[in-house]
Amino acid sequence: MPPLFPAAAQVLFLINNLGLYIHIPFCTQKCSYCNFYSFNAESNLIDSYFNTLLGEITAKGKTVTRPVSSVYIGGGTPTVAGGKRLYELLNTINKAFNVLPNAEITVEANPGDNLVDILPFLKKGGCNRLSLGVQSANQTELNLLRRRHNLTDVENAVNIARKTGINNISLDLMLGLPHSNLKTLKTSLDFLTGLNPQHISAYILKLEQGTPLFKNQANLNMPNEDMVADQYLFMCDYLSAKGFNHYEISNFAKDGYQSRHNSSYWQLCEYIGFGPAAHSFFNGKRYYYKPNITDYISNPTAIPDGDGGSEFEYIMLSLRMSDGINSAEFKNRYGKSFSEKFLKTAETLQKNGLVNINGQNISLTNKGMLVSNSVINLFTEVL
């Protein structure tokens, strides 16, 4: 499938258009590392939720005329809701909003779900991109993470997607897992790239408070910081050698297949979120819904969260991307140049191998991406 948009045209296109995010907070079982808002739900709760969601989407669509260039249905595990409900959801979005004919429409899926039945509904609803939570190609790691799928499920899921005509495939991977090393990581990378996906998202495991992995950490053989750093840098080189562009800290894509939806967040473009825990950035303001499905069903009112698009946000989000920040763009947006202190900070970080300065552009190196939070903090402190 050819890229939906040539890369150069994508940024301008994103700025003028709108993204939609829909949160489906259901999962059949909780993964051992997960602290997202998701839970196992009875069918009647899923139905009530979809009723509210479809009503909200229809009502909002009546007040918004801007063209929609990306739709992202995430979770949770959207495929837990089944094909019919997801088709109805996609259909409602298409009727309510001005979804562009070439919009990127992504649905997250669990390879362990019955995708033979579900994916034809997604395709019929316009889905053209599937994001599969693979995480690892080592069964012992999958068991430890309490994932529901095995490797055959993943291979089948990719084959079914392609047979159904959903050819733009993104696979998720995790680094820094208990007992992991470069050899186990390479096994996963070999497996994932062997499936020829267009996109790979790779996240370093963070032990979140309250999760089973967090509680059990004393018994886990966690790789230390240096070992995790080695894994990250190894992965960057590996994926680059396989033709993936490292376009964001945790995201890698073949030419023309950067996630348009996620890129729009990092490029400070606007989006509307639906569902508990979903966030929006619309008409210059940020909003969010409380992570509570009962509240959402009884009173789906988004809570204002201040202005969006500040200098701070621009630096924080744009530096996540390999394109980085640009002084001309900054001046265009905020009417001023980077301060002396800011440029001095960039020069110091360049000497330490953490940033690249290329003309008007400042971006993080792979080493800088590894410690992105600290590097970005140094920049935002001298804004």
| Footprint of ligand SF4 (CB under 6 A) | 27, 30-31, 34, 36, 38, 75-77, 110, 133
How far apart are CB 205 and ligand SF4 at their closest, in Å? 11
8 Å CB contact between 380 and 316 = yes
Q: What whole-number distance in Å separates Cα of residue 8 and Cα of residue 318?
A: 16
How far apart are CB 250 and ligand SF4 at their closest, in Å? 15
Query: Count of CB atoms within 10 A of residue 197's CB?
Result: 24
Q: Closer CB to ligand SF4, residue 77 or residue 201?
A: 77
- From first CA to last CA, the distance across the chain in angstroms is 43
Q: Closer CB to ligand SF4, residue 28 or residue 360?
A: 28
How far apart are CB 315 and ligand SF4 at their closest, in Å? 29
Which residue carries 């701070």 as its tokens?
Answer: 312
Q: What whole-number distance in Å separates Cα of residue 381 and Cα of residue 317?
A: 15
Beta strands of 157-302 (E only): which ranges?
168-175, 199-204, 245-248, 251-253, 270-274, 279-282, 285-288
Distance of CA 205 to the CA centre of its chain: 15
How far apart are CB 274 and ligand SF4 at their closest, in Å? 17
Q: Closer CB to ligand SF4, residue 36 or residue 238?
A: 36
Sign of torsion, CA 183 184 185 191? positive
Q: What are phi and psi of 339, to 5 degrees?
A: -75, 165
Q: Closer CB to ligand SF4, residue 175 or residue 354?
A: 175
Length of the chain: 383
Q: Closer CB to ligand SF4, residue 38 or residue 250?
A: 38
How far apart are CB 323 and ligand SF4 at their closest, in Å? 29
Mark out the alpha helices in 165-249 (DSSP H runs). Answer: 182-194, 212-215, 225-241
Q: What whole-number distance in Å separates Cα of residue 115 and Cα of residue 99?
A: 25
How far apart are CB 209 and ligand SF4 at their closest, in Å? 15
CA angle, 80 as apex, 78 and 81 as ends, to 5°? Answer: 75
Q: Closer CB to ligand SF4, residue 149 or residue 260?
A: 149
Question: In whole angstroms, how far apart are CA 225 and each of 230, 232, 289?
Answer: 9, 11, 35
How far apart are CB 240 and ligand SF4 at their closest, in Å? 27
How far apart are CB 76 and ligand SF4 at their closest, in Å? 5
